[in-house]
Structure 1
Amino acid sequence: MPASLLPIVRPRVAWLVALAPLLLAVLAIGLLGEGERAQQPTDSLPRGLDSTLAAQLDAQLGDDEQDVAIVLFTADDAGPMTADALAPAVRAAGGVPQSLTIAPDGGAAFAVVPVTAASATDTVDKVDALRTTLADAVPEGVRAQVTGPAGIQADLAKVFDGANTRLLLATAAVVAVLLVLTYRSPVLWLVPLLVVGVADRLAAILATQAMAALDVAWNESTVGILSVLVFGAGTNYALLLISRYRDELGRHESRHEAMSLALRRTAEPVLASATTVVLGLLTLLLSLTPSTRGIGLACAVGIVVAASFVLAVLPALLVLFGRWVFWPRAPRVGTTPLAERTSLWHRVGGVVRRRPGVLVAATTAVLAVLAVGLLRVETGLGRADQFLDEPEAISAGERLAESFPAGTSSPTEVLTRADAADVLATVEQTPGVVSAQVAGEGGGVSRIDVVLDATPGSAAARACLEDLRSALEEYDDTHVAGEEAEALDERDGAARDRKVVLPLILAVVLLALLLLLRSLVAPVLLVATVLATYAASMGASWWLFTGPLGFAALDVQVPLFAFLFLVALGVDYNIFLVTRAREEAREHGTRDGMLRALAATGGVITSAGVLLGAVFAVLGVLPLVVLAQLGVVVCLGVLLDTLVVRTVLVPALAVLLGDRFWWPSSSRRQAGTAT
């Protein structure tokens, strides 16, 4: 046995390395379970902005666990409704008949019902019980629906009821199908799927336990995004390792020696890629929004776990199984290496060699045309536009706006420590305010409920809120809350996050490439290509969203998360390609080395890109527009990066520049340090 073998692939050690982490992970999954943390009203609100400060004041009133539901009554053709007829249903729901308001035509009415709940789950239970009670209590010919803050919160929580399980199953199924198609083996696909699947569950447990211990906010969508990222990135790393292992099995009789060499040459790009993604994710800790910080921390943990399992457990398992795991296409010694085979990627390389300038111009033009749509992108979804399937609370809110002031279903709140009468007078004089009343006092804080005449989510509603906040600036410790105010602050917080986080992500990626490649030209070009991919995917997605999919705008969080995933993950494929090119350049020079690298990695990187794009597209199984939009943008971006940028643009740039691609180092010195 050669002394140069890595310890984890030695026969006696491989069993321990393969089985011990899997057994420990299974124990952790079975004994620990995911962490738990009660969601707070401020989890999705940007720190320091008006609605967050209002929520903190609201907590001092003493009824911080109480929300309100608005019960909408609509009549069939039986005639106008009366207060006497609806009073029993209002009482049964826990409201008071005095809160009942009937439309002038008698065709609609609403009542405000308090909902006391300690958690989001409790809110769902209370609203479900309220709907059941109302269905039994309303007079014949009258329909009761629940909307308002409590109704919307309950319907939003129900969106994720079993959703993460569906997402996990769909993701695993997509990965399994693509692995079978990639390897054409009835056995091999099971090994990486097992390793990545265990890594995914362990990552969810470690991440949520860490966030619970650190009191970092997260929600169900955090775990869903974490799962998609672990499966996507983990499988990509596995594809790269297995491809190199298969290549080395064609050169070496000993599978242990083949894996040792494959792991040595795969570890650097995988670690560089994983480190870049982790550092990029950790920039989200600078976000103003607690739930965004939670996504950054959780996904960083997930990438660390995925890379660790792929670089430790997967090699040991593959060595234990031996060559037969590739059946019926087990590699034999003497098989022509990928870099020397006449394949599709070899032919693509030939085209790149003959026309590099034309291809650089053509691909740049295609990306530029697609990026034009980016100039028209609008962000900010209305409340009714956030669901793929319209729940009861949204449809009831829209019906409520037909018979009553548009803001009735989405009341605005003013929290103040100033004199309530003075603040109330100022609120009532603000244009766009239909009604206002003091709804609660305690702990030196007053709450004023305000109804606006503008449609929730509209530009008019935002303008009215801005006018209201401007009018209240003269009062100390006075803040505006409510769904519309929160949406406005979320938009402003997202804009601030983009200004702070996006440059940091770029800096992290550029620094990682500078350290990895020890070059100035190549890293700058690679970052530029990734930026071009992001712009093109955002532009193309915008045409798709406003056309066939019919979305009014992007969710405010989509540009930031799409940038993070496309830049941090998109640079992976360039890292995989360029590190192999640097290695090949030792003997063949930059131009031939890049084309040999394309021939060697073309198949595996394309498979990885298609798989990652498909995995992100699976986010569409969750009925929230923000996740569907994120999935589409990342899927398009990854496919563009894989099929256009990495296949054509980057190799063409390297062929054009030659050794200048590695400036200030030479290709041969670069390659020598790599091996």
Structure 2
Amino acid sequence: MRTLRVVLPAVVILAWLTLAAVGGPFFGRISEVATNDQAGYLPRSAEATQVNELRDEFLGEATGRPAIVVVERDGGLTDADLAWTEDLAGRLADLDGVDEVSPPIPSEDGDAAELVASTSGEVDETVAAMRQAADVDRPDGLGVWVTGPAGFIGDLVEAFAGIDGFLLLVAFSAVFLILLVVYRSPLLPVVVLATALIALTGSIIAVWLLAKIGAIDINSQVQGILFILVIGAATDYSLLYIARYREALRDHESKWDATWLALRRSIAPIVASGGTVMAGLLCMLLSELNSNRALGPVAAVGIVFALAATLTLLPAVMLAIGRAAFWPQRPKFGDPQPDLTSPDAKGFWPAVARLVSRHARAVWVISTAALLVAGLGVLVLDADGVPQSDVVLGESEARDGQEVIGDHFPAGAGNPALIVGAEADLTALADAALEVDGVSAVVAVSQNSPTGTMPAGTDAPPFPIPTLAPLEPTVVDGQVMLQATLEGAPDSDVAEQAVTDLRDAVRAVDPDALVGGYTATMLDSDAASIHDRTVIIPLVLAVILVILMLLLRSILAPVLLVTSVIVSFAAALGVASVVFAVAGSPGADPAVPLYGFVFLVALGIDYNIFLMTRVREESARLGTRPGILRGLTVTGGVITSAGIVLAATFAALAVIPVLFLVQIAFIVAFGVLLDTLVVRSLVIPALSYDIGPAIWWPSKLWRDERAGRGDESRRLGAQDRA
């Protein structure tokens, strides 16, 4: 037996260290299997996706994301500027990843010109090379920008550049400082963070392999959330285990006995919490957006590794270190467990318990009312989507270039809407499209034209291309493709409205006609996100409610817990909405409320699970109301610490200059603090205390207390404590 006590933890630690050594290099490789192209987020059934899949057949191999190079000089382009722009077109065409480059297209006012290039392969690398080429021998005073869909992807990838290093550094630094304050021990924070880091390493290996074989899709957004989720979850679960281990070391001289006691007491709430998070996140598999759907399995993999590391590696390390891990405040065998529920008990949490016991109804009524008032802020929430140009915060060459295009060209030039319809209806489709407000020109795709297009429609404006006889539109399976130039910027509300009207107009001619392109992709993405909110949010609530009922063996308590988390989420989203509005935010992606809800409900319910499982344990020994007070006091410190740690880790997402992640960082960080400090500390204990034993209805615990059969168990509990 003594050999087992040495060999077993050694084998566990060695196995995890081996995994860490193998997985270390994967931190820098996960971007290899990530994509940030918005078209890849959509389901195959989306209209924009269907059109995107037909582009190769109509346009040949050069069907990558378009990049637009725009040059501008106040007072008009000179001959030298135009000559340099022509040379630039040649240099760009020679770059790897650039398939075709149009000749310079001058603006009517003579102040600007643009080149339209088709990119392929690693778009961000191609854009970076194009921007370097645009700096070679540039004439003084000539402005040059690389923009278009490819340009925005390049800016987005650059914004995510710090996700492997800087994000982790900020998150780990914040957690380390918090743990140092909580434990007042130099060793415990290192043990906890090492556990979280090794769990993250294992999850990255698994996610990389799954993405490599095509089982899941991943993007930089999901990657960042995975990092934060695993660090936060593993740290939270570690805090709960260490708190139980400290208690067990007072009751048992043997570290081995203390370890098994701590595991027995903590495994149920930790597994239940992790299972709840996984179940909630796996509901994202029903999402219509590939990006949302990817989050479910990726996050579930992360939680599995967080649970495994917390319940195997951490106990093994703590067993090996023993009481020295808590130095300089080592728990001693035989020290009495602190009685935090006595009237004379000192400290913050005993004071909170006394407040709850004396003014239970006033506490939960006033706290709930304050949360509901805060929730009114959702009335100013604008979550119908944001322009692509506002996704990246701070400097953005693509955004600046798009503004220049809008000053001198139709803002949608070089990034048209794509219409696919019957060959027999070509002229009628073009005429219908030209009648739509916001459409400035329509051309048909033609592979035997030097530009790849030809005029379309009886009222089409003149199109200055060399005449080839005959010019024929490209026909694929009886269908043709038209390109409609939009007057508004491709990511603007005006452009989205034009695409909506365009779809109605062309379907009046050909009911099977499809409209795709960049703007249509954004439009379909927003519609899919709104659908996901409607479907997934109720499902997450139902799944979590069932899990809580099974865990607590009660109906009333789980209903109240889930309701409290909903109120907490509404308050967090309301405050966030006001903050976003005051800060001048352009709005929010429709997925922001969904992500905020899933994380706050799934993670917020963790703290209620930690609290109520301990309350149930104490209620079986002391009775419900004394059990509530003891559960509150003994878990108050550890749960609050866990909440602060989780809030800090999610707040670290704000270092990535992407609007979506910054907004998620604020909503989740603020919401977790609200849930930890108000809901779990005041609302739930006070409401449960006010209701009394009926909180466990219809379980055996409720029936026993109602019949007065709880006296014997309470007497035995008092003897145990003595």
Both structures adopt the same fold (TM-score exceeding 0.5): yes
**2:393 is equivalent to residue 398 of structure 1:** no
- Contact 1:230-1:303 at 8 Å conserved across structures: yes
- Contact 2:152-2:388 at 8 Å conserved across structures: no
Report the more deviating stretch, 398-407 or 433-442: 433-442
Counterpart of 2:92 in structure 1 is 93
Are residues 78 and 459 of structure 1, via their aligned partners in 2, closer, same or farther at CA, if it must alter by over 3 Å?
closer
CA distance in 2, matches of 1:19, 1:162: 31
Are residues 613 and 41 of structure 1, via their aligned partners in 2, closer, same or farther at CA, if it must alter by over 3 Å?
closer
Secondary structure at 1:43 match in 2: helix
**How far did residue 12 of structure 1 move?**
3.6
- Which of 343, 348, 351 pairs up with 2:352? 348
Are residues 31 and 400 of structure 1, via their aligned partners in 2, closer, same or farther at CA, if it must alter by over 3 Å?
closer
Letter in 1 for 2:73: A
Which entry has the higher C-alpha Rg, 1 or 2?
Answer: 2
Counterpart of 1:144 in structure 2 is 144
**2:10 is equivalent to residue 15 of structure 1:** yes
CA distance in 1, matches of 2:101, 2:161: 34
**Aligned Cα RMSD in Å?**
2.6
**2:499 is equivalent to residue 465 of structure 1:** yes
CA distance in 2, matches of 1:664, 1:330: 42
**2:253 is equivalent to residue 274 of structure 1:** no
Counterpart of 1:486 in structure 2 is 521
- Contact 2:116-2:414 at 8 Å conserved across structures: no
CA distance in 2, matches of 1:384, 1:41: 13
Identity across aligned pairs (percent)? Answer: 36
CA distance in 1, matches of 2:325, 2:100: 70
Are residues 218 and 442 of structure 1, via their aligned partners in 2, closer, same or farther at CA, if it must alter by over 3 Å?
farther
Secondary structure at 2:500 match in 1: helix
- Which of 72, 75, 83 pairs up with 2:73? 75
- Which of 570, 578, 581 pairs up with 2:615? 581
**How far did residue 214 of structure 1 move?**
4.2
- Contact 2:176-2:193 at 8 Å conserved across structures: yes
CA distance in 2, matches of 1:260, 1:99: 74
Report the more deviating stretch, 241-250 or 206-215: 206-215
Q: Which runs of 5+ in 1 are unaligned?
A: none
Counterpart of 2:685 in structure 1 is 651
Q: Return the TM-score normalized by structure 2.
A: 0.87
How many pairs were matched up?
Answer: 664
Report the more deviating stretch, 80-89 or 631-640: 80-89
Report the more deviating stretch, 421-430 or 289-298: 421-430
**How far did residue 84 of structure 1 move?**
5.5
Letter in 2 for 1:402: D
CA distance in 2, matches of 1:173, 1:609: 16
Q: Deviations over 1:572-624 (max 9, x none)?
A: 00000000000111221111101101110000000000010110010011111
- Contact 2:155-2:392 at 8 Å conserved across structures: no
- Contact 1:54-1:478 at 8 Å conserved across structures: no
- Which of 363, 369, 377 pairs up with 1:365? 369
Q: Return the TM-score normalized by structure 1.
A: 0.93
Are residues 165 and 478 of structure 1, via their aligned partners in 2, closer, same or farther at CA, if it must alter by over 3 Å?
farther
**How far did residue 462 of structure 1 move?**
2.2
Q: Deviations over 1:129-180 (max 9, x none)?
A: 2222222254443222111122222222222224222112221212211111
- Contact 2:106-2:112 at 8 Å conserved across structures: yes
Secondary structure at 1:407 match in 2: coil
**How far did residue 99 of structure 1 move?**
4.3
- Which of 606, 615, 622 pairs up with 1:572? 606
**How far did residue 555 of structure 1 move?**
1.5
**How far did residue 16 of structure 1 move?**
1.9
**How far did residue 223 of structure 1 move?**
1.7
Report the more deviating stretch, 459-468 or 629-638: 459-468
Secondary structure at 1:93 match in 2: helix
- Contact 1:229-1:302 at 8 Å conserved across structures: yes
**How far did residue 400 of structure 1 move?**
1.4
Are residues 409 and 64 of structure 1, via their aligned partners in 2, closer, same or farther at CA, if it must alter by over 3 Å?
closer
Counterpart of 1:515 in structure 2 is 550
- Contact 1:71-1:144 at 8 Å conserved across structures: yes
Q: Deviations over 1:251-307 (max 9, x none)?
A: 222222122111111000001111111111111111111122111111100001100
Secondary structure at 2:251 match in 1: coil
**How far did residue 338 of structure 1 move?**
4.7
CA distance in 2, matches of 1:578, 1:274: 15
CA distance in 2, matches of 1:96, 1:577: 62
- Which of 609, 612, 620 pairs up with 2:643? 609
**How far did residue 25 of structure 1 move?**
4.1
CA distance in 2, matches of 1:446, 1:154: 31
**How far did residue 478 of structure 1 move?**
2.8
**2:275 is equivalent to residue 241 of structure 1:** no
**How far did residue 15 of structure 1 move?**
1.9
- Contact 2:51-2:514 at 8 Å conserved across structures: yes
**2:57 is equivalent to residue 60 of structure 1:** yes
Are residues 339 and 412 of structure 1, via their aligned partners in 2, closer, same or farther at CA, if it must alter by over 3 Å?
farther
CA distance in 2, matches of 1:20, 1:193: 18
Report the more deviating stretch, 624-633 or 138-147: 138-147
**How far did residue 443 of structure 1 move?**
4.1
CA distance in 2, matches of 1:266, 1:232: 18
- Contact 1:584-1:593 at 8 Å conserved across structures: yes
Letter in 1 for 2:587: A
**How far did residue 38 of structure 1 move?**
7.2
Counterpart of 2:452 in structure 1 is none
Q: Deviations over 1:325-355 (max 9, x none)?
A: 1100111123342553532111100001000
Q: Deviations over 1:26-51 (max 9, x none)?
A: 33545996595474774212441211
Are residues 87 and 21 of structure 1, via their aligned partners in 2, closer, same or farther at CA, if it must alter by over 3 Å?
closer
CA distance in 2, matches of 1:67, 1:361: 55
CA distance in 1, matches of 2:339, 2:659: 43
**How far did residue 402 of structure 1 move?**
1.6
CA distance in 1, matches of 2:332, 2:224: 41
Counterpart of 1:452 in structure 2 is 486
Secondary structure at 1:387 match in 2: coil
Are residues 254 and 638 of structure 1, via their aligned partners in 2, closer, same or farther at CA, if it must alter by over 3 Å?
same
